[in-house]
Amino acid sequence: MSNWLEILLLAVASAFWPTLILVVVVALRLEHPIRILVFFVAGALLTTISIGLAIVFALDDTTVASGSNRSISAGIYLVVGALSLLAGAALWRSAGRPRKPKPPKTRPSLAERSVERGAPVAFAAGVVLNIIPGTFPFVALVDIAKLDVADAAKVAAVIVFYVIMLSFAEVPIVAYLVAPERTIAATNAFNDWLARNGRRVAAGVLAVVGAYLVVRGLLRL
């Protein structure tokens, strides 16, 4: 049961992905936002689930997944946890500094340009931006590989993990179909709130999950 809760915790933590929120905000300003978001999410899910399953079943027969070498899995927890704590500390320090105003002619990011170029490019962006798993998803994939369940359950776990991770893009799709104007207003308000508090929120998430992973790693030594 603890492994399932850990996978859920990592999925929620992975959802706080600034690029994903930026894609949603930009898409909702365009003429056909649902089409853009659906294509982006489709590309992201196709990539993450495919690569995730490949990693899980590649690890399935290794000492990491079998638990025969506890020091390897402990090392993964400790390294990722320590990196998360360092990143969280850096973000927390930077949160107290005033943001420098962006120059008026700053070039939009790759994610912004991709979304603005239509659904096919948004699909490609969903693929490209998700080729390399992040640190939290990688730890979750290791946990899934270690589960003492049938292969079908592992497949389901990978799918559910990434559906949760991409929820900040999936929820606006459903909400927009019901109440488009309120969804746009709520998304913009949320983005403004994140602009003011995002670094502290991210620092808190990194600190909590990082501390958990360090403790988990120490217990496995």
List pLDDT tens digits, range 105-132: 566 677 777 788 888 999 998 999 888 8
Tokens 């030594």 -> residue? 221
What H or E segment, with its residue span, contains residue 82?
helix 70-95
User: What's this model's pTM, rounded to 2 decimal places?
Assistant: 0.82
Rg of the Cα trace of the chain? 19
Q: Given a cut of 80, is residue 104 above it in pLDDT?
A: no
pLDDT of residue 135: 86
Q: Given a cut of 70, is residue 186 above it in pLDDT?
A: yes
Q: Given a cut of 60, is residue 63 above it in pLDDT?
A: no
Please choose, from the candidates 145, 131, 121, 146, the residue with its C-alpha nearest in 3D space to the C-alpha of residue 49: 131
Please choose, from the candidates 138, 143, 137, the residue with its C-alpha nearest in 3D space to the C-alpha of residue 216: 143
If you average pLDDT over every residue of the chain, what do you get?
A: 84
CA-CA distance, 82 to 167, in Å (whole number)? 26
Q: Given a cut of 70, is residue 95 above it in pLDDT?
A: no
pLDDT of residue 154: 94
Categorize the per-residue pLDDT at 53 as very low, low, confident or very high, splitting at 50, 70 and 90. very high
Own/partner long-range contacts of 108-117 (Cβ < 8 Å, ≥24 apart) = 109/19, 109/22, 111/19, 111/22, 111/23, 111/26, 112/22, 112/23, 112/26, 115/23, 115/26, 115/27, 115/30, 115/36, 115/40, 116/26, 116/30
